[in-house]
Amino acid sequence: MSFDVVDLSPLLGTATLALLFLAVGDRSSTLHRTAYGLAVAATAALYFAWRIEETLFPAGDARTGAWPFIVFAVEILGFFNGFVFLVMMSRAPRLAGPAVEPSTDLGTPAVDIVIPTYDEPRDVVDKAIIAALNQDYPRITVHVLDDGRRDWLQALCAELGAQYHRRADNAHAKAGNLNAALPRLTGDFIAIMDADFAAARNFVSRTLPLFADPGVGIVQTPQVFYNPDVVQLNLGIAKQWVDEQRFFFSEIMPARAQWDAAFSCGSCSLNRRAALDAIGGFPTDSITEDMLTTVRMRKAGYRTVYLNEALSLGLSADSAQAFFVQRERWARGNIQIFFLPADIILNGSLSLAQKLFFAPLYWVTGSAATILTVLVPALYFLFGLAPINGGGVDGALSYAVPFLLMQQGYMVWISNGTYLPLVSPAIQIFQSFRLFPSVLAGLFKPFGTAFRVTPKASGRRTPDMFTAVAIGSVWAATVLGLFMNAFPGLERIPTGDFFPMAVFWAMLTLSGLTVAFWIAIPRPYFRSSERFFLDVDMVLETAGARRVVRVLDMSTGGAGLAPRDGVPPGGSAVLVLPDGTRLAGELIAREGGSALAWATPTPTAYRRLVEFLFSGRFSASPLKADDEAGLYRNLFRRVWE
């Protein structure tokens, strides 16, 4: 069939339906979420029916070969993971955390806030300790668990008023560190805050009332970050785009909670001591002890509740090195849990849906499907390895493109500003080349992998050469294939039939590869401390004057003042915090106005500054994209710079 007589009605119908959901679909409605999911599944079913009938076993076509069947098999595995995702997201979560009221049933039980540490610098761990001690709940004890055996940390704990613990060895890493401290903890509840997370002032008072239900073993809250992650930094879109984990914590975990399938994420959680005792402490069978703790507690009759409120601020993985250490640990740990049959496969406390949600489907299928997807155009144009045995433009426009359009429309709609068609698939490409070998190793040898601590923001940001070379090679091979087939005598494939769709597929692939490549290449980043967005009035004292100024942002290094207040740079000044704390500094020029760079604050002033910034009142990173035009401008500037 020639291109000009192709029936475009399936494509137009799908586009209309996708736009309708984007315009009037209600994400808070289970009916709407289910309907959109069914529409995606229906277009997928039609696509796979077309693939089987016309592209695997086309009538009158004797072409055979293993490659089309390999491609189809990986597509099926990928769609199975996608179908499980559609089921998971079909139930509408609460758009905010559940109403939490003080519980008279609990009284005021003692709470231990535990901060496991290993090699974090002082300017990271001191924020975690100060914030933990600043809770508005009366009965707390803060415990710092030091697997690095550092004398300066012991002295810091004594100075601030936290309990300090060290052990003789590092057996079983974080889980072993927590277990070693359990005999010395006396609280009825245990809050876990990683060393790079600072709890909001109301963390305990907001999470504790949910334990009025005696069946609750863990209350998990979202992890929110105050520094840009590797994607935001390297693409130069930190002000317009959310951190890479926001879709998971803002949308996926609330949906999982509606299936009673939320799980502990290690940090930012409150745990019932009795539930931990019932399972023998924190499990050491997996390097992701947090998820395994949830599964073991379920068998003991306790569940995990997800409170979708930002009650802490932490450091995200701001380098490719940190990103991959973190993701490889998650992937290997999730696979390890699946290879513990009593915990997932034979766990009678889990329904079939819950078992699928806890299975490592994403890790096992995601990298393989992504790598194959980006390799197909290069292999086709260079070696003539067609991914299909037949089919053409008409079939692709009737089945493949509608499926792609519907799937991407669904992701944009369900994500509520935390998924972007160009950026989000590029992140998947970026992580797949490094994760795929780790996933394969985990499948063949799931155990025996050491726990690796995620490197904290150290300022050491070097290119990830393996990822950059892998992505760059596929990009170059795809461009070479397109170039060769543009000239008579060099072409490897006929220009009819599937050729136009192959070119379209190649262009999409090149776009994703280009963005993914730049994620692997670090940009210079000079900020020594992260700014929190304030936009509040404070008193500023200068020589002979006292005035109220608008403070736009603040960090542990200084404060930015609104240009409209006309505070000239030069000279010294004192800014007065709402609690009366006085912070002295020098007025310097910044962005058309002025800023105050702190002089070295006293220990007491620094503590009050940290308490103020990390109280939970302020944010340092957007939680949803709200300037997509600016985002694309910055993205294209980064790609073509």
Q: What is the pLDDT, as a whole number, of residue 1?
A: 38
Q: Does residue 98 belong to any structural domain of this protein?
A: no
* SS3 per residue for 595-620: EEEECCCCHHHHHHHHHHHCCCCCEC
Instruction: Report whether pLDDT(391) > 70.
Output: no
Instruction: Report whether pLDDT(462) > 60.
Output: yes
- Residue 65 and residue 128 in one domain: no
Q: Does residue 97 belong to any structural domain of this protein?
A: no
Cβ neighbours of 239 (radius 10 Å)? 14
- Residue 508 and residue 547 in one domain: no
Instruction: Report whether pLDDT(278) > 70.
Output: yes
Beta strand 216-220 with 303-306 is parallel
- Residue 495 and residue 552 in one domain: no
End residue of a domain, out of 519, 542, 561: 519
Q: What is the pLDDT of residues 125-182, one digit of tens each?
A: 999 999 999 999 999 999 999 999 999 999 999 999 999 999 999 999 999 999 999 9
- Give me the number of domains the chain comprises: 3
Q: Cβ(577)–Cβ(96) under 8 Å?
A: no
Q: What is the pLDDT, as a whole number, of residue 5?
A: 46
Q: What is the pLDDT, as a whole number, of residue 143?
A: 98
- Residue 300 and residue 389 in one domain: no
Q: What is the pLDDT, as a whole number, of residue 22?
A: 75
Q: What is the pLDDT, as a whole number, of residue 20?
A: 76
End residue of a domain, out of 519, 540, 565: 519
Instruction: Report whether pLDDT(427) > 60.
Output: yes
Q: Indicate the pLDDT class of residue 529, thresholds 50, 70 and 90.
A: confident
Instruction: Report whether pLDDT(3) > 50.
Output: no
Of all residues in the chain, what percent carry a pLDDT higher than 70?
A: 92
Q: What is the pLDDT of residues 206-246, one digit of tens each?
A: 999 999 999 999 999 999 999 999 999 999 888 888 999 99
Q: Does residue 435 belong to any structural domain of this protein?
A: yes
Q: What CATH number has the domain bearing residue 245?
A: 3.90.550.10
Q: What is the pLDDT, as a whole number, of residue 84?
A: 97
Per-residue tokens: 485: 């087939």
- Residue 116 and residue 261 in one domain: yes
- Residue 191 and residue 305 in one domain: yes
Instruction: Report whether pLDDT(438) > 70.
Output: yes
Q: What is the pLDDT of residues 10-35, one digit of tens each?
A: 777 777 777 777 777 888 999 999 99
Which uninterrupted H or E stretch holds 305?
A: strand 303-306
- Residue 585 and residue 473 in one domain: no
Q: Does residue 456 belong to any structural domain of this protein?
A: no
Instruction: Report whether pLDDT(464) > 70.
Output: yes
Q: Which of 570, 569, 573 is nearest to 538 (CA)?
A: 573
**294 exposure class (CB count in 10 Å sphere: 0-12, 13-18, 19+):** buried
- Residue 497 and residue 537 in one domain: no
Give residue 174's domain range. 111-339
CA dist 387 and 367 (Å) reads: 18
Of all residues in the chain, what percent carry a pLDDT higher than 90?
A: 66
Least confident of 233-237, 395-399, 530-534: 395-399
- Residue 77 and residue 169 in one domain: no
Q: What CATH number has the domain bearing residue 585?
A: 2.40.10.220
pTM: 0.92
Mean pLDDT of the chain: 89
- Residue 325 and residue 382 in one domain: no
Residue tagged 């190649």 (tokens): 506
Q: Does residue 193 belong to any structural domain of this protein?
A: yes
- Residue 467 and residue 436 in one domain: yes
Q: Does residue 196 belong to any structural domain of this protein?
A: yes
HSE toward the beta carbon, residue 417, CA cutoff 13 A: 11
Residues 6+ apart with CB under 8 A from 520: 234, 320, 430, 463, 464, 467, 468, 471
Q: Which residues of 20-55 are buried (b: 16+ CB within 10 A; e: fewer)?
A: ebeeebebeeeebbbebbebbbebbebbbebbeebb
CA dist 247 and 171 (Å) reads: 34
Q: What is the pLDDT of residues 289-325, one digit of tens each?
A: 999 999 999 999 999 999 999 999 999 998 999 999 9
- Residue 582 and residue 481 in one domain: no
Q: CA angle, corner 216, sides to 215 and 221, nearest 5?
A: 165
HSE toward the beta carbon, residue 59, CA cutoff 13 A: 2
Q: What is the pLDDT of residues 579-638, one digit of tens each?
A: 999 999 999 998 778 999 999 999 999 999 999 999 999 887 777 776 677 777 777 777
Instruction: Report whether pLDDT(200) > 60.
Output: yes
Instruction: Report whether pLDDT(515) > 70.
Output: yes
Cβ neighbours of 250 (radius 10 Å)? 22
Q: What is the pLDDT, as a whole number, of residue 637?
A: 74
Q: Does residue 103 belong to any structural domain of this protein?
A: no
Q: What is the pLDDT, as a whole number, of residue 461?
A: 66
Q: How far is CA 252 from CA 24, 95, 333, 411, 581, in A?
A: 21, 12, 19, 12, 41
Q: Does residue 166 belong to any structural domain of this protein?
A: yes
Q: What is the pLDDT, as a whole number, of residue 154?
A: 97
